[in-house]
Each structure stands twice: as C-alpha cells, then as structure tokens.
Structure 1
Amino acid sequence: MSEYLTVRCPVCRRAHRYTLPSYPCACGAPVAPPLDRHRPAVPVAHRAWQEEWVTVRCAACGLPGEWPRPELGCPCGTSLRIPVAEDRTAAAPDGLVRDAVAAAERYLRRLGYRDLRRTGHRLPSGVWLRGHGVLAQVDPAALPATERDVECLWLAALAESRRGVHFSRAGHADGARARGDALGVPLFLIDRDGVPRPVNQAADGLDATGA
C-alpha cells in the first residue's frame, strides 16, 4: 500500500490526504522518498533546479537515484513541498562514489565543453547534460547500458546538431559498445572513484583531443 500523509495548507488551513507516488528504479523495483511526519509541508516560495529533486536509494538494489521532490497543489493556489526524511536516503553503500552526473559534468568541462546544464526532467535511463556542441547522457543504473540507449542518444544528438557522449556507472553491454563504435559515439565508464574512463575508440579520441 502506498504511504500517505495528512497535509494541512498553512495558507488556507485546508487538510489534504497526500498519497506518495512511487517511481521505477532501473532494476524494476518501485522507489519512493520516505516521508518525514515530524515536519509540516511548506509553501514553495521560489524554484531552483537542484531543489526540485531528492536522492533516494532503492531498497532492492541499493542504487541511489534522483526523483522529483514530493509536492501537493492546494485549491487555494499554494504549492506545498512535502517534507522528506532525507537522512535515510542518499548514503552510497560500500563508500562508492554515486554522483555520476556531477562526475560527467566535471569531466566534460575539463574537455572544454561550456554552458553545461541538466535538463529539467529525469529520464528512466539517466539524465541529460546539454552544452555548446554536446549532448551527454549519464546513466547511473546498476545494469550496463544497452544498444538501444546508445542509439537513442545518437539520434537525439543528431537532431540537435550536437555530439553525443554516453556515460555509464555500470559499463556498456557488448552490443552497446559495438553500436557506439559504428555510430562514433564516445562511451565512458564512471569507475568506483567517480572518474570517467574511455571504453571505445571514439572516447579515446575525445579524451585525447577535447572539445
């Protein structure tokens, strides 16, 4: 049964029953942020991208992922941010570096790509990073990236006249590597230390020459 919480709007004092939605982890298990029942919901005064997401670790596979922070819209027009018990969420098991998106962003900046920004939504298979001349997909899943992942990135980058680059925390399946070679898509493995490592010829070239 989905977790729920009684939420009272501090502006109009209406009480609402909020049911927490769940999202599918890459492993297929449902994931939902743990609610904090000891703190009240607060109105959203302003929005910032980094505040729209909460990191939650999947109870089934241990993979942390970024999910939309719970909110509730009150009929009075107030958007309420639902309190989340974040101290139970994002600690990475075994001391592994899990922030794959930040690692990929740092690496691309080192290569010379500027104006990098994350898109305003999270994809089931990762997060987009867009910059001048580049479209990167960062996949923090516990399973290797697939051939379809590489093909979808290539098509998206082609449509935007950018260079597609793929980062994966769990590596790439053999079919994905072969497709990356055929399409000229650089593929990188983000290792246990959070360092992107080239895994195909296109990635070796990009690592050597930069943007």
Structure 2
Amino acid sequence: MADCVPVRCPSCRREHAYTPATFPCACGQPLTVPVLPGGVATHVRQRTWKDSWVKLRCGACGRTDDWPRPEVGCACGVVIRPAVNLGAVGITPQGTAAGAGVPQGSLPAADPPPGGVPSAGVPRAVRRPVFVPVTIRTGQDAVTAAAAYLRWLGFSGVAQDRDRPVSGVDVRGTGVLARVDHSTSSARLRDVETLWLACLHENAVGAFFSLAGYRPDAQEGAGRLQVPLFALDLTGTPRPVNAAADRLIRTAPPAGGH
C-alpha cells in the first residue's frame, strides 16, 4: 500500500491525509504516482486534459506512460493537486490498491463528517465490497465512474440518462438521480438547483459529481438544499465534499435500493 502523505489545501489551509491510488502497469506490476512529501499543493482553477496527466516510468519494466495526476477534493469546495515527485520511479512492491475497502476520502480521518458520530437512531454505515474505480480520460468516463459509484453504494437500475439535455440529469437509478459535471469550470449554483428540482419532482435522492470542484455559492446552496456533492478525480474515485454526501455514504441505499 502506498504511504499516506499530508496535503494542505492552499485555499482554506485544511490538512488532508492523502493516500495515492495504485494502478497496474501494462507489465502487471502495481504503480503509484509518487506524491512529494512536504510539497506545495495547487488549486485546480482551470482544468485541461493535458495538465491532468503525468508521465512516469515503471521501475519493473522501464515503460514510460501517462498516469492520472493525483487530486484531492477539499471540504471547502475546491479541488487541489498535490505536488508530484517527478524524479521518482512510480512503482510499489505490493499489489494492493491504496485505500482498498472504501473510496479515498469517504470518511477522512483529518476531516470528520460535520456533527461527529451519528446520534442514536441514525443508520450505521453499510458494509460494502471494495470499490473499483474507473479511470477518467474522457467526459463519458466521468459519467461511467459516477454510475459505478452509485451502484457500489447500493442503488439498483443505475444507467445513463439519455434525456440529459432536457432534465439536467446524467445518471438515474431506482430512487436516485445524479448530475456529472466533467467540464473544466467549477460547478454552478444553477446546476445544483436544477438537480434538486428534478429530485423533488421524482421524489428521488440526488448526487452531484464534479471534476473541477464547486463555486462557493454552489456549495452553500447545496448545503441549504441538502444536495450531496462529490469531487471526482481522474482515478475515478468520488470524494464527499459536504455533509449531505457523508450522510449518503453512511445510509445508502434508501428505500428502493438493494
């Protein structure tokens, strides 16, 4: 398993305990993008596909390839990018994926869910198998990753919504609707409100996934409307960025799930 590295958000100064994800090289050996301990993280303000990848050489076979640059979704609503040690060889001796068992950041030790331990009467966390992320290289991959995550949470009948241009919903399942923003701009309040209205109309739970984080007004509005917000990184691992998302992870699936 890759070592846990402290990463400080340049916006709110909150420190995260981050464990880089591990992926298999074409030769079969596990490879981890080496995060630089003590490096200065940057705020992802304008996302481009070119800047979202880093070239690394496998220490086992010598192959050089593109790998997703590590990213962390902070509770303040921004996406931060830890510094990468480009002089290191991206390889780990173990074959165990970092963060196996739960998505990285689902319930981070450094950032406990608001309110602390659930009070009596609140459902306990659901036991789930290991989540297998979908590496994001295209916008469609982001939608696929969000759908896979909702299935992992326990929702049934999850599939892409072909009427998205009208409804503003990218993924729907039994009792759940989701919007996936894979653009290079932070998600807007209007987009969060559109999802909330769709959920209200269909009496469904909502989930918003964004690759570039959220504008402050969008995060504030989501808190007011209780819309779960998740930050997606290029490993395809969603991370909760508000209390509603933490609750969804702890209590899903609702009635209608499995």
Length-normalised TM-score, structure 2:
0.44
Structure 2 gap ranges (5+): 1-46, 54-66, 69-135, 254-258
* Counterpart secondary structure, 2:179: strand
Q: Is the Cα contact below 8 Å between 1:125 and 1:141 reproduced in 2?
A: no
How many residues end up aligned between the 2 structures?
124
- Paired residue for 1:172? 214
| 1:152-167 correspondence runs (5 A) | 152-167=194-209
Preserved contact between residue 168 and residue 195 of structure 2 (Cα < 8 Å)? no
After TM superposition, the structure 1 = structure 2 runs for residues 1-211 of structure 1, keeping only pairs within 5 Å, are: 62=48, 94=53, 95-96=67-68, 97-98=136-137, 99-123=141-165, 128-211=170-253
**In 2, Cα distance between equivalents of 1:116 and 1:147:** 25
Bigger Rg, which one: 1
One-letter amino acid matched to 1:172: Y
Return the structure number with greater strand share.
1
User: What CA deviation, in whole Å up to 9, does each residue of 1:45-95 have, x standing for no partner?
Assistant: xxxxxxxxxxxxxxxx755xxxxxxxxxxxxxxxxxxxxxxxxxxx99624
- Which of 1 and 2 has higher RCO (CA within 8 Å, sep 6+)? 2
> 1:162 & 1:184 partners in 2: Cα distance?
13
RMSD: 2.5
Tell which deviates more after alignment, 91-100 or 193-202: 91-100
Structure 1: gaps of 5 or more residues: 1-60, 64-90
Q: TM-score, normalised by structure 1?
A: 0.53
Q: Secondary structure at the match of 1:142?
A: coil
Rounded Cα–Cα distance in structure 2 between residues aligned with 1:121 and 1:139: 15
In the TM superposition, what is the alpha-carbon distance from 1:169 to its structure 2 partner? 0.8
Aligned equivalents of 1:196, 1:170: Cα separation in 2: 12
Judged with a 3 Å threshold, the aligned counterparts in structure 2 of structure 1 residues 93 and 182 are, in CA distance, closer, same or farther, namely: closer
Give distance in 2, aligned partners of 1:196 and 1:126. 20
8 Å contact kept, 2:167–2:198? no
Identical pairs, percent:
46
Once superposed, which parts of structure 1, at least 4 consecutive aligned residues long, lie more than 3 Å away?
Answer: 121-127
- The answer to whether the Cα contact below 8 Å between 1:150 and 1:179 also exists between their aligned partners in 2 is yes
Answer whether contact 2:147 2:160 (CA < 8 A) is retained. no
